[in-house]
Amino acid sequence: MADYARHLGSAIARHQTNMALHAAKSEAELASKAKSEFIANMSHELRTPLNAIIGFSDMLVALRDPDLEKVGQYSGYVKEAAEHLLALINGILDISKIQAGKLTVDRELFDIRSTIESCAMIIQSKASERNITVAHGISDDTPDVFADPLRLKQIVINLLSNAVKFSPNDSTVTLDVRPTSVGGVTIKVQDQGPGMTSQEIDTAMVPFGQVNTGANKNSEGTGLGLPITVALVRMHGGRFNIESEKEEGTCITITLPPHNKPKPRATPASTTATQ
Protein backbone atom coordinates (compact mmCIF):
# COMPACT_ATOMS: atom_id res chain seq x y z
CA MET A 1 0.00 0.00 0.00
CA ALA A 2 2.85 2.33 0.88
CA ASP A 3 4.57 1.56 -2.47
CA TYR A 4 1.31 2.28 -4.33
CA ALA A 5 0.93 5.60 -2.55
CA ARG A 6 4.54 6.49 -3.30
CA HIS A 7 4.19 5.62 -6.99
CA LEU A 8 0.89 7.51 -7.18
CA GLY A 9 2.50 10.57 -5.61
CA SER A 10 5.38 10.41 -8.08
CA ALA A 11 2.97 10.06 -11.01
CA ILE A 12 0.94 13.05 -9.84
CA ALA A 13 4.12 15.11 -9.41
CA ARG A 14 5.31 14.17 -12.92
CA HIS A 15 1.90 15.02 -14.35
CA GLN A 16 1.90 18.42 -12.63
CA THR A 17 5.43 19.09 -13.87
CA ASN A 18 4.45 18.14 -17.42
CA MET A 19 1.39 20.39 -17.24
CA ALA A 20 3.54 23.29 -15.99
CA LEU A 21 6.07 22.72 -18.77
CA HIS A 22 3.30 22.54 -21.37
CA ALA A 23 1.76 25.77 -20.06
CA ALA A 24 5.17 27.49 -20.08
CA LYS A 25 5.82 26.27 -23.62
CA SER A 26 2.42 27.49 -24.81
CA GLU A 27 2.99 30.86 -23.17
CA ALA A 28 6.42 31.16 -24.77
CA GLU A 29 4.97 30.25 -28.18
CA LEU A 30 2.22 32.84 -27.80
CA ALA A 31 4.77 35.47 -26.76
CA SER A 32 6.96 34.58 -29.74
CA LYS A 33 3.97 34.77 -32.08
CA ALA A 34 2.92 38.13 -30.64
CA LYS A 35 6.47 39.42 -31.06
CA SER A 36 6.59 38.22 -34.67
CA GLU A 37 3.21 39.81 -35.43
CA PHE A 38 4.34 43.04 -33.77
CA ILE A 39 7.52 43.18 -35.88
CA ALA A 40 5.57 42.35 -39.06
CA ASN A 41 3.00 45.05 -38.35
CA MET A 42 5.61 47.65 -37.48
CA SER A 43 7.66 46.85 -40.56
CA HIS A 44 4.69 47.76 -42.74
CA GLU A 45 3.31 50.63 -40.63
CA LEU A 46 6.65 52.43 -40.29
CA ARG A 47 7.73 51.97 -43.89
CA THR A 48 4.52 53.41 -45.35
CA PRO A 49 4.85 56.98 -44.00
CA LEU A 50 8.65 56.91 -44.18
CA ASN A 51 8.55 56.00 -47.88
CA ALA A 52 6.11 58.85 -48.48
CA ILE A 53 8.30 61.33 -46.60
CA ILE A 54 11.43 60.26 -48.47
CA GLY A 55 9.71 60.07 -51.85
CA PHE A 56 8.06 63.48 -51.75
CA SER A 57 11.15 65.07 -50.20
CA ASP A 58 13.16 63.77 -53.17
CA MET A 59 10.58 65.25 -55.52
CA LEU A 60 10.88 68.61 -53.76
CA VAL A 61 14.68 68.50 -54.10
CA ALA A 62 14.39 67.56 -57.78
CA LEU A 63 12.19 70.54 -58.63
CA ARG A 64 14.15 72.87 -60.88
CA ASP A 65 11.47 75.47 -61.38
CA PRO A 66 9.85 77.16 -58.38
CA ASP A 67 6.40 75.69 -59.02
CA LEU A 68 4.64 76.89 -55.88
CA GLU A 69 1.61 74.70 -56.49
CA LYS A 70 3.69 71.52 -56.61
CA VAL A 71 5.83 72.64 -53.68
CA GLY A 72 2.71 73.19 -51.58
CA GLN A 73 1.21 69.88 -52.65
CA TYR A 74 4.34 67.81 -51.95
CA SER A 75 4.95 69.64 -48.66
CA GLY A 76 1.41 68.78 -47.60
CA TYR A 77 2.01 65.09 -48.35
CA VAL A 78 5.25 65.15 -46.35
CA LYS A 79 3.50 66.81 -43.40
CA GLU A 80 0.62 64.33 -43.50
CA ALA A 81 3.00 61.35 -43.57
CA ALA A 82 5.11 62.81 -40.75
CA GLU A 83 2.02 63.34 -38.59
CA HIS A 84 0.93 59.75 -39.20
CA LEU A 85 4.41 58.52 -38.28
CA LEU A 86 4.40 60.61 -35.09
CA ALA A 87 0.97 59.27 -34.12
CA LEU A 88 2.20 55.73 -34.72
CA ILE A 89 5.31 56.22 -32.57
CA ASN A 90 3.28 57.87 -29.79
CA GLY A 91 0.86 54.95 -29.89
CA ILE A 92 3.67 52.41 -29.64
CA LEU A 93 5.21 54.29 -26.70
CA ASP A 94 1.86 54.54 -24.93
CA ILE A 95 0.95 50.86 -25.37
CA SER A 96 4.46 49.84 -24.27
CA LYS A 97 4.20 51.97 -21.12
CA ILE A 98 0.74 50.59 -20.40
CA GLN A 99 1.87 46.98 -20.76
CA ALA A 100 4.91 47.69 -18.57
CA GLY A 101 2.78 49.48 -15.96
CA LYS A 102 4.78 52.69 -16.43
CA LEU A 103 2.07 54.99 -17.77
CA THR A 104 0.65 57.38 -15.19
CA VAL A 105 -2.22 59.85 -15.20
CA ASP A 106 -2.02 63.25 -13.49
CA ARG A 107 -5.55 63.96 -12.35
CA GLU A 108 -7.07 67.27 -11.48
CA LEU A 109 -10.58 68.67 -11.09
CA PHE A 110 -11.71 70.60 -14.17
CA ASP A 111 -14.68 71.55 -16.36
CA ILE A 112 -15.00 69.05 -19.21
CA ARG A 113 -16.81 71.46 -21.55
CA SER A 114 -13.73 73.10 -23.08
CA THR A 115 -12.14 69.68 -23.67
CA ILE A 116 -15.23 68.38 -25.49
CA GLU A 117 -15.52 71.53 -27.60
CA SER A 118 -11.83 71.34 -28.57
CA CYS A 119 -12.02 67.65 -29.53
CA ALA A 120 -15.16 68.16 -31.62
CA MET A 121 -13.54 71.10 -33.44
CA ILE A 122 -10.35 69.14 -34.20
CA ILE A 123 -12.21 66.13 -35.61
CA GLN A 124 -14.80 68.20 -37.48
CA SER A 125 -12.09 69.75 -39.66
CA LYS A 126 -11.12 66.26 -40.85
CA ALA A 127 -14.69 64.95 -41.03
CA SER A 128 -15.76 67.82 -43.27
CA GLU A 129 -13.63 66.37 -46.09
CA ARG A 130 -16.25 63.60 -46.35
CA ASN A 131 -19.22 65.77 -45.41
CA ILE A 132 -19.54 64.07 -42.02
CA THR A 133 -21.07 66.14 -39.22
CA VAL A 134 -19.78 65.84 -35.65
CA ALA A 135 -22.78 66.78 -33.51
CA HIS A 136 -21.96 67.26 -29.85
CA GLY A 137 -23.99 68.13 -26.80
CA ILE A 138 -23.15 68.64 -23.14
CA SER A 139 -25.81 68.57 -20.46
CA ASP A 140 -25.97 71.80 -18.43
CA ASP A 141 -25.76 69.90 -15.15
CA THR A 142 -22.60 67.99 -16.09
CA PRO A 143 -20.27 68.16 -13.08
CA ASP A 144 -16.51 68.74 -13.12
CA VAL A 145 -14.42 65.63 -13.67
CA PHE A 146 -11.38 64.44 -11.77
CA ALA A 147 -9.10 63.28 -14.58
CA ASP A 148 -5.93 63.92 -16.53
CA PRO A 149 -6.93 66.66 -19.04
CA LEU A 150 -4.46 65.57 -21.72
CA ARG A 151 -5.34 61.88 -21.42
CA LEU A 152 -9.08 62.60 -21.40
CA LYS A 153 -8.61 64.63 -24.59
CA GLN A 154 -6.71 61.67 -26.07
CA ILE A 155 -9.60 59.36 -25.15
CA VAL A 156 -12.26 61.54 -26.78
CA ILE A 157 -10.20 62.21 -29.94
CA ASN A 158 -9.50 58.48 -30.33
CA LEU A 159 -13.20 57.67 -30.09
CA LEU A 160 -14.24 60.43 -32.49
CA SER A 161 -11.48 59.57 -34.97
CA ASN A 162 -12.58 55.94 -35.06
CA ALA A 163 -16.22 56.93 -35.45
CA VAL A 164 -15.44 59.22 -38.39
CA LYS A 165 -13.10 56.66 -39.95
CA PHE A 166 -15.82 54.01 -40.07
CA SER A 167 -18.69 56.34 -40.97
CA PRO A 168 -20.02 56.64 -44.52
CA ASN A 169 -19.93 59.97 -46.33
CA ASP A 170 -22.73 62.43 -45.60
CA SER A 171 -23.47 60.90 -42.19
CA THR A 172 -23.43 62.10 -38.59
CA VAL A 173 -21.28 61.21 -35.59
CA THR A 174 -22.80 62.17 -32.25
CA LEU A 175 -20.94 63.00 -29.06
CA ASP A 176 -23.09 63.24 -25.95
CA VAL A 177 -21.91 64.14 -22.44
CA ARG A 178 -24.14 64.01 -19.39
CA PRO A 179 -23.99 63.28 -15.64
CA THR A 180 -24.70 59.91 -14.07
CA SER A 181 -27.17 59.43 -11.24
CA VAL A 182 -24.31 59.13 -8.73
CA GLY A 183 -22.39 62.24 -9.78
CA GLY A 184 -20.09 60.80 -12.43
CA VAL A 185 -19.97 61.62 -16.14
CA THR A 186 -20.79 59.56 -19.23
CA ILE A 187 -19.27 60.29 -22.65
CA LYS A 188 -21.07 58.58 -25.51
CA VAL A 189 -19.87 58.45 -29.13
CA GLN A 190 -22.16 56.96 -31.76
CA ASP A 191 -21.66 56.52 -35.50
CA GLN A 192 -23.71 55.32 -38.46
CA GLY A 193 -21.03 52.99 -39.78
CA PRO A 194 -21.19 49.33 -40.80
CA GLY A 195 -21.01 48.06 -37.24
CA MET A 196 -19.13 45.02 -35.95
CA THR A 197 -19.80 41.46 -34.96
CA SER A 198 -18.78 40.25 -31.50
CA GLN A 199 -15.71 38.60 -33.07
CA GLU A 200 -14.72 41.84 -34.80
CA ILE A 201 -15.12 43.72 -31.51
CA ASP A 202 -12.69 41.28 -29.89
CA THR A 203 -10.23 41.91 -32.73
CA ALA A 204 -10.54 45.69 -32.39
CA MET A 205 -9.80 45.51 -28.67
CA VAL A 206 -6.41 43.81 -29.21
CA PRO A 207 -3.32 45.97 -29.88
CA PHE A 208 -2.68 46.22 -33.65
CA GLY A 209 -5.98 44.47 -34.32
CA GLN A 210 -7.79 46.11 -37.24
CA VAL A 211 -11.28 45.43 -38.52
CA ASN A 212 -11.37 45.73 -42.29
CA THR A 213 -14.61 47.10 -43.73
CA GLY A 214 -15.50 48.98 -46.88
CA ALA A 215 -15.77 52.18 -44.84
CA ASN A 216 -12.11 52.26 -43.81
CA LYS A 217 -10.39 50.73 -46.83
CA ASN A 218 -8.77 54.04 -47.76
CA SER A 219 -7.89 55.07 -44.21
CA GLU A 220 -4.64 54.40 -42.42
CA GLY A 221 -4.63 53.11 -38.88
CA THR A 222 -2.39 51.45 -36.34
CA GLY A 223 -4.92 49.36 -34.43
CA LEU A 224 -3.75 50.99 -31.18
CA GLY A 225 -6.34 53.70 -30.59
CA LEU A 226 -9.07 51.56 -29.03
CA PRO A 227 -6.81 49.41 -26.75
CA ILE A 228 -5.08 52.57 -25.49
CA THR A 229 -8.44 54.23 -24.89
CA VAL A 230 -9.73 51.27 -22.88
CA ALA A 231 -6.55 51.22 -20.76
CA LEU A 232 -6.72 54.98 -20.10
CA VAL A 233 -10.37 54.77 -19.09
CA ARG A 234 -9.59 51.99 -16.61
CA MET A 235 -6.63 53.95 -15.23
CA HIS A 236 -9.13 56.68 -14.38
CA GLY A 237 -11.30 54.16 -12.55
CA GLY A 238 -13.89 54.37 -15.31
CA ARG A 239 -15.90 51.86 -17.32
CA PHE A 240 -15.79 51.20 -21.06
CA ASN A 241 -18.74 49.74 -22.97
CA ILE A 242 -19.11 49.07 -26.68
CA GLU A 243 -22.35 48.15 -28.45
CA SER A 244 -22.35 47.33 -32.14
CA GLU A 245 -24.37 45.41 -34.68
CA LYS A 246 -23.82 44.86 -38.38
CA GLU A 247 -25.39 47.62 -40.46
CA GLU A 248 -26.53 49.35 -37.27
CA GLY A 249 -23.45 51.38 -36.36
CA THR A 250 -21.40 51.44 -33.18
CA CYS A 251 -21.97 53.17 -29.84
CA ILE A 252 -19.17 53.50 -27.29
CA THR A 253 -19.86 54.77 -23.78
CA ILE A 254 -17.26 55.58 -21.16
CA THR A 255 -18.28 56.35 -17.60
CA LEU A 256 -16.01 58.34 -15.31
CA PRO A 257 -16.60 57.93 -11.58
CA PRO A 258 -17.70 60.82 -9.37
CA HIS A 259 -15.06 62.83 -7.59
CA ASN A 260 -15.61 62.68 -3.87
CA LYS A 261 -14.11 65.77 -2.35
CA PRO A 262 -12.71 65.22 1.14
CA LYS A 263 -15.07 66.48 3.76
CA PRO A 264 -13.81 69.44 5.82
CA ARG A 265 -12.72 68.60 9.31
CA ALA A 266 -15.30 69.38 11.96
CA THR A 267 -14.28 72.29 14.16
CA PRO A 268 -15.26 72.35 17.83
CA ALA A 269 -18.30 74.54 18.39
CA SER A 270 -17.51 77.69 20.33
CA THR A 271 -19.11 77.90 23.77
CA THR A 272 -20.25 80.97 25.58
CA ALA A 273 -20.40 81.18 29.35
CA THR A 274 -23.79 81.83 30.82
CA GLN A 275 -24.14 83.90 33.87
SS3 state of residue 138? strand
Q: What is the mean pLDDT of the chain?
A: 81
Pick from 38-47, 138-147, 208-217, 228-237: least confident: 208-217
The CATH number for 2-100, chosen from 3.40.50.300, 1.10.260.30, 1.10.287.130, 1.10.10.10, is: 1.10.287.130
pLDDT (0 to 100) of residue 262: 45
**Nearest to 137, CA basis, from 93, 189, 96, 91:** 189
- 157 CB-near residues (< 8 Å, 6+ apart): 119, 122, 123
Alpha-carbon torsion angle 41, 206, 202, 243, nearest 10? -120
Average pLDDT score over residue span 132-140: 94
Type of residue numbered 68: L
Q: Which residues of 173-183 are buried (b: 16+ CB within 10 A; e: fewer)?
A: bbbbbeeeeee
pLDDT tens-place string over residues 74-120: 888 888 888 888 878 888 888 888 878 888 889 999 999 999 999 99
pLDDT (0 to 100) of residue 268: 45
Contact 227, 95 (CB under 8 A): yes
- Phi and psi at 26, nearest 5°, equal -65, -40
The Cα–Cα gap between 252 and 190 comes to 6
Comparing 71 with 1, the larger pLDDT belongs to 71
Region 110-256: CATH code: 3.30.565.10
Give residue limits of the domains in the chain.
2-100, 110-256
Q: Is the pLDDT of residue 186 over 60?
A: yes
Q: Is the pLDDT of residue 180 over 50?
A: yes
Q: Is the pLDDT of residue 269 over 60?
A: no
Comparing 186 with 15, the larger pLDDT belongs to 186
Average pLDDT score over residue span 209-222: 56
What does the radius of gyration of the chain's CA atoms come to, in whole angstroms? Answer: 26
Length of the chain: 275
Axis crossing angle, helix 149-166 with helix 225-235, rounded to the nearest 10: 150
Same fold, 2-100 and 110-256: no
End-to-end CA distance of the chain: 94
